[in-house]
Structure 1
């Protein structure tokens, strides 16, 4: 838990608004994330989760707490069962030094970069989990948009071009080191925008560490978390980001920080693409573009966090090593372009 945050005002506010009886000792910070700050608020009656933006420079819309609440509300209206229910949104920065929101707590466990202590996962279970994860992604991509109101969360026309332009611009704003491979990959993306125009609801950060799993049945996904970048756009852009996080055993160690998919039993990236294609009507012929986009996006996210660290706005020592993720991502992208393999 960050020592620079004052929790007294927050607790008083939550006790008043939620009619609960909690104190500062009931607040603990969830460890392991690289983006928004997430806390558990334990009271005698109930458990809540609190999310607020990280310290330092805001990154586009990724830390807009109000927008994330809007996404969760829209998913509730759409009848999507795996999105936590939002409870409260507060715009007043005086309460918790930034806007924040409260949502329900979903019991379960999360796979980050190692298996939690006391849990054993066999290769067969990992294979089932990897299929369940892609089934979950497919379900999101195939949600009805108009009647549910989800269509209002994004602007699908021109989505791919805007994303390539936006992430390219973000990289150069956050640039700290000369990494020619990544810049070559950005140039390639800008010249290879696909003609196909696909539309669906997309999560934009879909990987194992954003899934709450049932410890009694590993393949059961109880909830999907971190909806701050969700929108309406090309589902294959979402799949490309997932593939970029979906590391394999032969990938550089720096790229294994964000997903545990390299352990035995998990589907390979090629198998993920094949499985997704078998259960979708989308044209998968240009997946190399979407994968390279995903790699560049992951690199830019890491670069933005690394810059915050260098500027003194983030003290987590893990952030200091993220420049290696940026460098490895650029080299991975160029290798994939040269070999035409994902």
Structure 2
């Protein structure tokens, strides 16, 4: 998992010797001493690279402090990634889950380190058009493969509630926004009122969904144009695959300046070798048999609202002193622009 690391922040440190003592004997071949570095940019579950004399691992843990109910469930991440790894999806192999808070202070799990490239800018500067095209097709295929997994056969029928996905998500993120509210944003209040009334009828398809399927959570093989691992499964659940696809497709619709990630909006996609939104959606639908239109403006409004609510959770943690990312204050400034962009999309979908 290539990404910048830094020395472990004081509020995210733990007893490294105690960790080594716990992992020795639980992970075959693991032995100390270890070098511990913290990955930059994590907004929710602090993530670390562990380096021994002959191997590298990644540790994800719950943050310390009072947490929102159901948030930061690293045990859920471990469960779903282990099941998906065993059926051959590109996943970093999960190795051990520790539910004993006494080891490093909070629950955590350890997985193998997967080398790869991640892209915060979906235009993927520095690549040639053919490589971009292959990477986008691999991402499309990976998402389709995930949504076609028989979750019941994997023992994951209880991993989430089937049906009414968008209604449940709107309710969940509306509650999080309210419980974390640090300012009044009229557009968020309008969206909370309008979104439940505008959900398209897409049937009752249920799949395992990742919840944050963006290119920064896809590790691309170091030398080949393919997905080598999908990471950060904190928001995964059972739900409508359109939830994953339309969030992923914000890459095409996201207004500039509302996210630390770049956007494809306004880009010369043909010159870049990147498919347009209709072509990308068509390829996914061919692979899965999905019949709905993922480019409808409701989905843009919903997903921008969802991101704004997630960032409001960061604002709430910062307010309460449970801050897990050094750039939290910068992220917080994006909540209001996201809400305005979401309401603009809602107006395109018929909101008044």
- Contact conserved, 1:308 with 1:314, CA < 8 A, in 2? yes
| DSSP-derived class of the 2:226 partner | strand
| DSSP-derived class of the 1:139 partner | helix
Residue 327 of structure 1: which of 327, 336, 344 is its match?
336
How big is the shift at 1:289?
Answer: 2.7
CA distance in 1, matches of 2:54, 2:134: 35
Q: Paired residue for 2:97?
A: 89
Instruction: Note if 1:165 corresponds to 2:171.
Output: yes
Instruction: Note if 1:108 corresponds to 2:116.
Output: yes
CA pair 339-274 structure 1, distance change in 2 beyond 3 A: farther
- Contact conserved, 2:298 with 2:349, CA < 8 A, in 1? no
Gaps of 5+ in 1: none
CA distance in 1, matches of 2:98, 2:69: 20
Residue 206 of structure 1: which of 207, 213, 216 is its match?
213
How big is the shift at 1:50?
Answer: 0.6
Q: Paired residue for 1:139?
A: 145
CA distance in 1, matches of 2:65, 2:252: 29
Residue 32 of structure 1: which of 41, 48, 51 is its match?
41
How big is the shift at 1:271?
Answer: 4.3
CA offsets 1:66-116 (integer angstroms, 9 cap, x no match): 111111222134x13312221111111111110001111112222235999
CA distance in 2, matches of 1:322, 1:64: 22
How big is the shift at 1:12?
Answer: 2.7
Instruction: Note if 1:296 corresponds to 2:300.
Output: no
Residue 61 of structure 2: which of 28, 52, 65 is its match?
52
CA distance in 2, matches of 1:277, 1:37: 35
CA pair 164-241 structure 1, distance change in 2 beyond 3 A: same
- Contact conserved, 1:82 with 1:223, CA < 8 A, in 2? yes
CA offsets 1:261-288 (integer angstroms, 9 cap, x no match): 5676244444433443344322324743
| DSSP-derived class of the 2:23 partner | helix
Residue 126 of structure 1: which of 126, 132, 144 is its match?
132
* Residues matched between the structures, number: 333
Question: Greater shift after overlay, 8-17 or 330-339?
Answer: 8-17
Q: Paired residue for 2:347?
A: 338
- Pairwise CA RMSD of aligned residues? 2.6
Instruction: Note if 1:67 corresponds to 2:70.
Output: no
CA distance in 1, matches of 2:38, 2:17: 15
Q: Paired residue for 1:229?
A: 235
How big is the shift at 1:149?
Answer: 2.5
Q: TM-score, normalised by structure 2?
A: 0.85
CA pair 301-96 structure 1, distance change in 2 beyond 3 A: same
Gaps of 5+ in 2: 1-7
- Contact conserved, 2:123 with 2:262, CA < 8 A, in 1? no
CA distance in 1, matches of 2:232, 2:216: 10
- Contact conserved, 1:75 with 1:150, CA < 8 A, in 2? no
Instruction: Note if 1:41 corresponds to 2:47.
Output: no
CA distance in 2, matches of 1:133, 1:260: 16
CA distance in 2, matches of 1:328, 1:126: 29
